[in-house]
A and B are shown apart, each in its own frame.
Chain A
Amino acid sequence: MQLTASSISCVRGGRALYDGLSFSLSSGELLLLNGPNGSGKTSLLRQIAGLLPLDTGTIAFEGFDRAEETHFVGHAPAIKDALTVSENLSFWCDLYGRSGASPEAALKQLKLAPLASLPGRVLSAGQKRRLALARLVAIRRSLWLLDEPDTALDAEGRATLLEIIAGHRARGGMVVMASHGTLNVAASCALALDEHAKAAAA
């Protein structure tokens, strides 16, 4: 499996965020996106997901189908207040197809099992983040696009996150992650998106 982006660019609100960005990622690799706020980390993740069109360039997916194999964990947790924790997770499992761990096991791994029957509205920000991450465990997909996945997580949550990322890479999965350096993850490569609308591969 390989993901190859060739000279892609992104213009948001008339401002070029990055121009002529190229990178590639193979099985088991993790690409870390660095950059200050507003440098285009989220836009790049959305472009890879296909949620945002490319202004120029192409992104090629070899050996897998993006539509069938992409996980996107953005800033909004996609959790319904009126549904319980387990209903929230089961819904995405039913929609995406159950292929990973059972929803119960996923909740257990993210330390959410005792909260399974509570409605989403009572969860704290960190617990909502854990529930969003539980999707990664419960539904097996090869490409993970994580937008600052450690936001609001405690030390234990960050350790669990590193554990599931390591497990995913050991199985040959790929990860593209935006981060402010708060997560001590072993990246295969890093991409610095700077504020001068030019991206330099570090």
Chain B
Amino acid sequence: MTRAFFAILRRDLALALRAGGGAGIGVIFFLALVMVVPLAIGPDQKLLSQIGPAILWIGALLASLLGLDRVFGADAEDGSLDLLLLAPLPLEIIAFAKALAHWLATGLPLVIATPLLGLLLGVEMKALGATALMLLIGTPAIAFLGSIGAGLAASLPRSGLLIAVLIVPFTIPVLIFGTAATAAAVAEASLFGTAFKLLCALALFSFVIGPVAAAAALRIGRSA
């Protein structure tokens, strides 16, 4: 079982990172979004550094929604999904491995890019660290919630935007508690503990519900 789990993880990482896998698209989109914000808002250094963490969160959230259609869509297209369904491994474990690989290839680079992109917005050091750390918990939650949409739309062609629209409402709690925890960490407010714990709870919740719901969606989609 462990061997099969790591086989899926390795394969999906290799597919995402090799040419044409699209792992870099999210970071490039994130960069584009962060670069246009100061141009639209104007050279108000104070305002930018104040709203910077929120901009980073919005950018990371939207960038996380890119490429979700590849999680199961590519396997549905080339027949691999049938073979995954027939594999001697619970579909929930397969969905977990695929969501994890998707986060490692597309979500983790966003977290790593966050401090650098924050500099473009003039965000202070302390806020940079807080934002990156909160995104380290928030982006996997978004990826695992996103895998539900990916499972639902697995056999639909060009489903990228559909998945994003389906999933955005479910990621709102992550955004609310993630930004609240970030702001509280910067201000050293007492609210931090509550928001941080709720963000962690949301992440843990998504790790469980994401693969189970994605597997159920895949089973329904295949048998129709």
A residues whose Cβ falls under 8 Å from a Cβ of B: 49-53, 67-68, 70-72, 74-83, 87, 91-92, 94-97
- Decide: B15 and A74 in contact? CB cutoff 8 A: no
- Identify which of A50, A53, A74, A83 contacts B14 (C-beta below 8 A): A83
In the complex the two chains form, what is the Cα distance from A80 to B83 in whole Å? 13
Interface check B172, CB cutoff 8 A: no
**Would you mind naming 7 contact pairs between A and B with Cβ atoms under 8 Å apart?**
A51-B223, A72-B86, A79-B78, A82-B15, A83-B14, A83-B15, A94-B7
- Decide: B86 and A78 in contact? CB cutoff 8 A: no
CB distance from A171 to the nearest CB of B (A): 19
Interface check B88, CB cutoff 8 A: yes
- Identify which of B7, B222, B223 contacts A91 (C-beta below 8 A): B7
In the complex the two chains form, what is the Cα distance from A90 to B83 in whole Å? 14
- Decide: B83 and A72 in contact? CB cutoff 8 A: yes
CB distance from A48 to the nearest CB of B (A): 11
Chain A residue at smallest Cβ distance from B4: A95
In the complex the two chains form, what is the Cα distance from A82 to B74 in whole Å? 12
- Decide: B82 and A78 in contact? CB cutoff 8 A: yes
In the complex the two chains form, what is the Cα distance from A164 to B114 in whole Å? 54
Q: For chain B, what secondary structure do more than half of its interface residues adopt (helix, strand, loop), or is it mixed?
A: helix
Which B residues are in CB contact (< 8 Å) with A81? 20
- Identify which of B19, B77, B79, B89 contacts A74 (C-beta below 8 A): B79
- Excluding A52-B222, A82-B21, A97-B88, 9 further A-B contacts by CB distance (< 8 Å) are A74-B79, A78-B79, A78-B83, A79-B78, A80-B80, A92-B83, A95-B8, A95-B89, A96-B87
Which B residues are in CB contact (< 8 Å) with A76? 77-80, 82
Which A residues are in CB contact (< 8 Å) with B4? 94-97
In the complex the two chains form, what is the Cα distance from A76 to B155 in whole Å? 14
